[in-house]
Structure 1
Amino acid sequence: MAPPDIRVVVQPASEVDIPKIVKYCNRNSINFLVVNRGHGLTKSLGAFKGMQIDMKQLRSMDISRDGKSAWFQGGAYSYEVIPFLWDRGYVTSTGSNQCVGLTGPALGGGHGRYEGLYGLAGDNIIEMKVVLADGSSITVSEKSNKDLFWAMRGAGHNFGIVTNLKLRIYPAKIKTWHYHNYYWGQDKLERVFSELNKLQDDGKTPPLLGVVFGQIYIDPSINRDEAILWFTFAYAGPASEAERLLRPFNAIDAIKDEMGDVPYPEIPVRQNTDLSNCISARFSLVSVMLQTWNITAERALYNHFMRNVALYPDLAVTARLYYEGYAHKGVQAVDSASTAYPHRDEYHIAFFATVVPEGSNLLDPAEKWAREARDMWYKGAPTRKPATYINYASGNKYEILKSIYGYESWRLARLRKLKAKYDPNNRFRFYVPIQSD
């Protein structure tokens, strides 16, 4: 990604500061960019030059008296939200990585470990307090500004600043999660993806099997010459239940494996999505959404990965093929037309990413590697149109807007009509914009 050009940073100490900041920027023709946790990957951020509104001081959380919902300020993030709720006997849908904020992912959908039961993070939004591009403050919900409520859940980055949001929360009935991590050699690739398809095809992943994450990468502690397959399974329940589902994977001879039962807040640590695994760097990245894993394509992707590892050892250090498969029942239970999120029939996310070392001449090779990986994934799904999860969008020109916001003609038309209504001067145009400047 191309980093934004931040000229000044403002940290509002109160929600009431944000309208004042926006109005000041408007009077002085200053662009503004709101940051929750700074986890943006898209190249469209590189077009920004101006003031950053940093939300890190706005992180208060409050559970309602009836225990059915909670309010979170716009700066809240998963690392704090999950234990806050857990310690009080509750859970909700959030992003799966501790690095990310709560609000940002939810505005683009928000995939996470509880979506098999409760849907996307965005599906659980009840109400939002929003500052619009002109600095006015409004309430957005099913009862107030309903049209914007539709748009904010899937394309929200285009419309306003969320200063506070009300989410559904749920009693934490499941006391432990089981994790099982496998390290396999490349000779097991076909068997692994075959079993994944049996488990996950057609969105049939059991709702309690919250997520399956995978990576193909070079692990020097295991093999310096061949990339390995690392897959981690997280199940909302005890080992006795989870391991029955995982018998086919236990039958695949692994280099090593790790497993255990832990409270839900510890699962990110066990699956390498905790704060210690967050990288702040310049990435080359590309992502796809799929319904099934094409085994022939995955072997071709592995071989392609190894060829590039040999050509570009400085990229190989951080290069990864990533795989994400979430339980999908809760997502499919929501009417696709009821929110701006368009991808309820896409069951998997895969992406390639590598860090481009500062001062190197490796950007072009990294971008070529990424583009070719994307093409190979889609070659394995010839009857499918490309689909892109907005929170993983790269901003490359070959990522068409319909792949992000949906191919139904009415979706982008409706979004653009609402854009003209709520942000006619296109002030919110730096994160995967539905229309350019």
Structure 2
Amino acid sequence: MLSFKFILVAYGLLLVPQSVISSPAVPRYFQRSLFSRGNISATTVETELGPQLSSGSLVFGPDSPQWSNATSRFDTLVRPDVQVVVEPASEADVSKIARSQLWTKAPFGFLVRNRGHGITTSLSAFSGIQINMNQLNGVSILPDEGTAILQGGTFARDLVPTLWDAGYVTTTGASPCVGIIGPALGGGYGRYSGLYGLVLDDILHYNVVLANGTEIGVNETSHPDLLWALKGAGHNFAIVTSVVKKIYPKEIDTWHYHSYVWTQDKLETAFETLNGFHKSDNGTTPPKMGVNYGSIIMNTSVSTTEAVLEWSFYYAGPAGEAEEILKPFNAIGAVAEDVFDASYPEVSSLTDGNCAGAPIALASVLTVEYNITAERALYELYVANVARYPELAATAYAWHEGYATAGYQAVPSDSTAFAHREENHIMFFATVVPDGSGLLDAAMTWAKDSRDIWNGGQPDRLPATYVNYAAGHDYEALDSIYGYESWRLERLRGLKAEYDPHNRFRFYVPVICGQ
């Protein structure tokens, strides 16, 4: 049975750090618009934009039956003030929307939405018109049979089976209910990272709309400077309407899945084994062992007072190969296991259906290895808070992602804006905060305390945050996200001044022109 622990976040499009929106001296371009639903309506936008857009495009407001789906979000603590939704039916419509005189007549902006997985509560600062990419979901395999064109609204639930049935695979985020472009703009870890890299690593060409409405193609020979920025900080620079992405022949028929449930007395052994596993094969996880997901979580079928470790491994190949690699984990001694082989679309679907909206408190880190002492401290904090806050216990979990790194560590670190190719693991604490519980502050403190424990376990390294999992907290420093080498932020700011001098793309972990 699937559980809430599989929720994968991180793929929204726009973000403003909480420290920015709470500052008493807020720059004009971060201030909430003075316009309200009373003086900007779907009728107004339809009158301005409707005649310019292609057949099938939609403009609607809160009274439309499509409104709820178009404005739903993964984290309902995130509440952008969407006043009108515009849904383009063709890529050409996006530039028309961006060029509209609406943006010069009134002080409100637009929010680009793919699947609504942005997890920062600072999105609540937005007020204006949402561009919904839902209709731009076409997938076309090109005649060279090594690439495909994916439109900007394509998401994994459609792409994975489409390519599989045609005999291909490609990199995507780990959950099928998120988009392709959202993860790619900030990185894009997934089950094929060990073989083919991050989602951004096999994008060869971007068709984008700049802030002024100009349509350009971006690749190694056309705007190569912007290509660098799109690969890791892309939310700051453009709207992606489509990409040309590498695809790969399907070389295996099944993936092997093996999950374990370990009791807490096995914690030190489990993490010691995991550290050895991730240091194998000259410093990387075996490339075909695409990912292992694990959590410290309550499992009442095992214990009502002690948390357990639940861990699952995904291998791109048959059971015999996988189980040879998994022998050290088999030797730990699990109280429950689940083992099967399935096609990649079936394996991918294990994390589907977990993107429904809920109010979620979350904090995340990136690390190179697991600190066993820190993990024990994390466990003790978890158990103490489960007892203290029983209303949070059913959904609280400390999540660990361990990816095969060979594919993305083969890419030179300075060749993309993505700055975290050394790290092996992403971890986050998350819990749903029940409406009316009054436990939001407690949940947020629990999340931050978990993050502090993880960071304290690597005292010789500065804190690192995956941009797609950034939550807008004031302790998420910009250089922890885009890299501590000074040249990285300097280069991003220079490109921002060239491609978006008026900071129209200023909400998702923003690199601000002039700062």
Q: Normalised by the shorter chain, which TM-score bucket?
A: over 0.9
Give the distance between the partners of 1:417 and 1:237, measured in 2 at CA. Answer: 45
Matched, 1:16 2:92: yes
**In the TM superposition, what are the counterparts of 1:259-270 in structure 2 within 5 Å?**
259-269=339-349
Letter of the structure 2 residue corresponding to residue 157 of structure 1: H
CA deviation profile, 1:81-123 (whole Å, cap 9, x unmatched): 1111111011111101112100000010100111111110001
Give the distance between the partners of 1:359 and 1:430, measured in 2 at CA. Answer: 29
The match for 2:113 among 35, 43, 50 is 35
What's the CA shift for 1:277? 2.2
What's the CA shift for 1:27? 2.6
The match for 1:180 among 254, 258, 263 is 258
**Unaligned stretches of 5+ in structure 2?**
1-76
Matched, 1:221 2:221: no
Residue pair 1:309, 1:315 contacting (<8 A) in 2 also: yes
Question: Partner residue of 1:121?
Answer: 199
CA deviation profile, 1:303-362 (whole Å, cap 9, x unmatched): 001111111111222111000000000111101111000001011111101112223321
Give the distance between the partners of 1:258 and 1:315, measured in 2 at CA. Answer: 27
Letter of the structure 1 residue corresponding to residue 419 of structure 2: P
Matched, 1:111 2:199: no
The match for 2:267 among 182, 189, 201 is 189
Structure whose residues are more often strand by fraction: 1
Letter of the structure 2 residue corresponding to residue 413 of structure 1: E
Matched, 1:373 2:453: no
Residue pair 1:39, 1:99 contacting (<8 A) in 2 also: no
Compute the TM-score of the two structures, normalised by the length of structure 2: 0.82
What's the CA shift for 1:225? 1.7
What's the CA shift for 1:426? 0.6
Question: Partner residue of 2:338?
Answer: 258
Residue pair 1:42, 1:432 contacting (<8 A) in 2 also: no
The match for 2:474 among 393, 397, 415 is 397
SS at match of 2:166: coil
Runs of 4+ in 1 over 4 A off after TM superposition: none
Give the distance between the partners of 1:139 and 1:278, measured in 2 at CA. Answer: 32
Give the distance between the partners of 1:323 and 1:3, measured in 2 at CA. Answer: 27
The match for 2:356 among 279, 295, 318 is 279
What's the CA shift for 1:203? 4.1
What's the CA shift for 1:51? 1.1
Letter of the structure 2 residue corresponding to residue 209 of structure 1: M
Matched, 1:171 2:239: no
CA deviation profile, 1:201-249 (whole Å, cap 9, x unmatched): 3842000100000111112333222211110000010000000011111
Matched, 1:356 2:356: no
The match for 2:406 among 324, 329, 353 is 329
Matched, 1:342 2:432: no
Letter of the structure 1 residue corresponding to residue 327 of structure 2: R
What's the CA shift for 1:80? 0.8
Letter of the structure 1 residue corresponding to residue 483 of structure 2: G
Bigger CA radius of gyration: 2
What's the CA shift for 1:5? 1.4
The match for 2:322 among 230, 236, 242 is 242
Compute the TM-score of the two structures, normalised by the length of structure 1: 0.97
Give the distance between the partners of 1:215 and 1:430, measured in 2 at CA. Answer: 31
**In the TM superposition, what are the counterparts of 1:40-55 in structure 2 within 5 Å?**
40-55=118-133
**In the TM superposition, what are the counterparts of 1:83-162 in structure 2 within 5 Å?**
83-162=161-240
SS at match of 1:94: coil
Question: Partner residue of 2:35?
Answer: none
Give the distance between the partners of 1:49 and 1:219, measured in 2 at CA. Answer: 41
Give the distance between the partners of 2:213 and 2:337, measured in 1 at CA. Answer: 53
